Amino acid sequence: MVHFCGLLTLHREPVPLKSISVSVNIYEFVAGVSATLNYENEEKVPLEAFFVFPMDEDSAVYSFEALVDGKKIVAELQDKMKARTNYEKAISQGHQAFLLEGDSSSRDVFSCNVGNLQPGSKAAVTLKYVQELPLEADGALRFVLPAVLNPRYQFSGSSKDSCLNVKTPIVPVEDLPYTLSMVATIDSQHGIEKVQSNCPLSPTEYLGEDKTSAQVSLAAGHKFDRDVELLIYYNEVHTPSVVLEMGMPNMKPGHLMGDPSAMVSFYPNIPEDQPSNTCGEFIFLMDRSGSMQSPMSSQDTSQLRIQAAKETLILLLKSLPIGCYFNIYGFGSSYEACFPESVKYTQQTMEEALGRVKLMQADLGGTEILAPLQNIYRGPSIPGHPLQLFVFTDGEVTDTFSVIKEVRINRQKHRCFSFGIGEGTSTSLIKGIARASGGTSEFITGKDRMQSKALRTLKRSLQPVVEDVSLSWHLPPGLSAKMLSPEQTVIFRGQRLISYAQLTGRMPAAETTGEVCLKYTLQGKTFEDKVTFPLQPKPDVNLTIHRLAAKSLLQTKDMGLRETPASDKKDALNLSLESGVISSFTAFIAINKELNKPVQGPLAHRDVPRPILLGASAPLKIKCQSGFRKALHSDRPPSASQPRGELMCYKAKTFQMDDYSLCGLISHKDQHSPGFGENHLVQLIYHQNANGSWDLNEDLAKILGMSLEEIMAAQPAELVDSSGWATILAVIWLHSNGKDLKCEWELLERKAVAWMRAHAGSTMPSVVKAAITFLKSSVDPAIFAF
């Protein structure tokens, strides 16, 4: 007998959340978002609805309001403990109440409580936030509307106060009882070239002939199986700028929200032809939890994450410079290191590491990243070889702030480059550890290749260090700039640098200008970037720049309820209350006191379900979820409106892996995904030596599609070393057959060409010409830089 999947209460009552509608307004590289959750109580008893949902960790949430049967109720930002108490009190007194708070253990998870929703009543709950848009390598601005919240791995030391501990029902994406709609309006003075998405969109509608304004909509039927991503291409994105915003008129000068705020954007023009570093200690920390056995993408028969991880490690190992040190860690519930401590990069150590990578499996259980990090940091530093840490994870952990704190404590001894793998990755973890150490973060979703993003980051880490970074202001007398962003110590080529400042003092008369200068030193040479801007602050009803400035400052002080130092807690709380931007110490509370209907009997509790996705690290068995309010505090007793009696329980099917087809899901075994090393490109790279050369053997001949005898017979007489002939053939093959993935083999090709130039000498031009003719290739000989 087939049991249909779905989420039902014991009495088959509907879930009260009906739809989510989102309005996005993007101006240049800042997004303002308004998200409305539409509830309706179709039952005959009052309800309390509880919804856990993801947010990007850079989002500055500044507004929360409810529209109940035509009446608008604006929420107040309060101390979190006070807001929770007021919520419970309001419910017990028969009022309607609404509570919005961030999770205690992570910045990228929020929960919303709708309390005492009367029978037949409708409520529209709206939250608003602003965020910066990151710049991609190809010049696109990336906006992500998080729609996927994967279960986070729970370990014994997890916070009991986290909303992630609430066992909200999980159902197949087809059975979600609510829908998502989104409309995005985009404005840029530089003109909009195109808008792309990983989800079906309506055709881009330009709102003027100059194409400076456009609108797109999410097509109906989004299944919550992926985050909604927009890639926005402007005609020009690398122009330095300063945006000056007027403060609140009723706020006294001297306060953050009262003074003008400035947002400064620079795109440092770091020369590309700088020589790469040949020193460094490179440690690759790879997630080997069970969720890494999932496909990279849920939309097609994509490569498994662990297979992509193995290929990525091979590329990284082959691209390391001779003379550096390296190690590889795998982590899950436990961790394993390739070597007891980092070793020098040689042919022998590389081959040993490759052998271990080839056998690597997603077999280490859960996701506990803190222990291996602590072990890495306890290791001795290697003089002259600064530590560069690469962290790859699907980011499903509950101790996010503890991990970020550990990275921050050790920030003087290393840089951390982080990679979030798959949909629903914790943006709080991935961005947080990179920010804490002066590294960069990448997210690998949809059809993104882990290999490409990892090698691009390795190239960044090998750049010469940019030193003595400073930002100076030239303003009229009586006016000064107070920096709100943390001091920038590291700049990478192609990176956008954003800083916030508060302008204090007397603003000058109209038509006066100011200047900001970014200065830095690269290999003993000083560089300067300057931008001049008018000192006329512009009003913004949403105070966008002020909110973003407050968020930037909060990210340096707010490390959650448990990990924030006592000296920073008060500052973070006061800053949050003053700016109206939610933090770990505050929550939004709205109370409708006009409703005064004490609850007769139990207030029925409804947990809004989340979708189950391939790749979620939660147990596959989903039990019947019971209980009324699953704790704003897990150790808090029920309120007066919640007698310990009747249980309103969701009943969900218990899933096994083989049940996925019944639920409209795809079992891993039904997919054909490319196996490890199945393509010739990976095989060729695998056989490269540590010094950059290739050996002439049967393995290379098979990849080239020729016999070994045929290749040896074609070797020019003036080239004595067969490895030189093999290396030239391999490089030409790369350019002929793998040019679309050049960013993945560019560094290892540099090693090969450098080795060839050192060994072939004056014969190199003629040998290269012979190789191109032999392979019948049209590759330009200039790639060998004679």
**pLDDT higher than threshold 80 for residue 786:** no
In Å, how far are 459, 689, 783 from 768, measured between CA atoms?
27, 20, 10
Query: What is the arithmetic mean of pLDDT over 95-123?
Result: 90
pLDDT of residue 695: 96
Query: What is the arithmetic mean of pLDDT over 275-287?
Result: 87
**pLDDT higher than threshold 90 for residue 394:** no
d(CA 191, CA 77): 38
Which of 393, 447, 446 lies closest to 420, judged by CA?
393
SS3 549: helix
**pLDDT higher than threshold 80 for residue 700:** yes
What is the per-residue pLDDT across 612-648, written as a single tens digit (0 to 9) for each?
A: 554 444 333 322 222 223 333 333 333 333 332 222 2
pLDDT of residue 685: 95
CB of 174 within 8 A of CB of 223? yes
Share of the chain above pLDDT 90, in %: 59
- Strand-pair category, 513-522 with 466-474: antiparallel
Please tell me which residue, 599 or 193, carries the higher pLDDT value: 193
pLDDT of residue 315: 95
Please tell me which residue, 649 or 457, carries the higher pLDDT value: 457
Please tell me which residue, 463 or 663, carries the higher pLDDT value: 463
d(CA 14, CA 41): 8
What is the per-residue pLDDT across 185-202, written as a single tens digit (0 to 9) for each?
A: 999 988 999 999 999 999
pLDDT of residue 161: 60
**What type of residue is 416?**
C
Which of 97, 124, 75, 120 lies closest to 595, judged by CA?
97
**pLDDT higher than threshold 80 for residue 415:** yes
List the beta bridge partners of residue 39. Answer: 17, 123
By residue count, the chain amounts to 786
Please tell me which residue, 177 or 391, carries the higher pLDDT value: 391
Neighbours of 472 (CB within 10 A): 12
List the beta bridge partners of residue 567. Answer: none
Please tell me which residue, 572 or 596, carries the higher pLDDT value: 572
Which of 707, 690, 689 lies closest to 698, judged by CA?
707
d(CA 86, CA 574): 19
Query: What is the arithmetic mean of pLDDT over 652-672?
Result: 30
pLDDT of residue 151: 54
pLDDT of residue 651: 29
d(CA 124, CA 112): 12
- Least confident window among 12-26, 266-280, 552-566, 638-652: 638-652
pLDDT of residue 601: 55
> Token pair for residue 214?
């456009």
CB of 632 within 8 A of CB of 114? no
d(CA 659, CA 746): 44
Which of 287, 307, 286, 283 lies closest to 295, judged by CA?
307
pLDDT of residue 654: 29
> Token pair for residue 286?
């790879």
Query: Sorting pLDDT into bands at 50, 70 and 90, what band is 298?
Result: low
> Token pair for residue 213?
């304004």
pLDDT of residue 15: 67
> Token pair for residue 613?
């996705």
d(CA 542, CA 572): 21
pLDDT of residue 634: 34
Query: Sorting pLDDT into bands at 50, 70 and 90, what band is 88?
Result: very high
> Token pair for residue 544?
């966008």
Which of 85, 90, 65, 60 lies closest to 75, judged by CA?
65
Neighbours of 140 (CB within 10 A): 20
Which of 590, 541, 582 lies closest to 74, judged by CA?
590
pLDDT of residue 466: 81
Give residue for tokens 């022998």: 348
pLDDT of residue 279: 86
Query: What is the arithmetic mean of pLDDT over 93-111?
Result: 90
CB of 312 within 8 A of CB of 420? no
What is the per-residue pLDDT across 241-254, written as a single tens digit (0 to 9) for each?
A: 999 999 998 888 88
**What type of residue is 782?**
A
d(CA 583, CA 552): 12
Q: How many helices and strands, by DSSP H and E, does the chain display? A: 16, 35
pLDDT of residue 329: 97
SS3 699: helix
Neighbours of 380 (CB within 10 A): 7
Mean model confidence pLDDT for the chain: 84
**pLDDT higher than threshold 70 for residue 100:** yes
The whole model's pTM is what? 0.85
Domains assigned to the chain: 7-236+580-664 (no CATH), 281-461 (3.40.50.410), 680-784 (no CATH)
What is the per-residue pLDDT across 466-521, written as a single tens digit (0 to 9) for each?
A: 888 999 999 999 999 999 998 887 788 778 899 999 999 988 877 899 999 999 98
d(CA 490, CA 469): 7
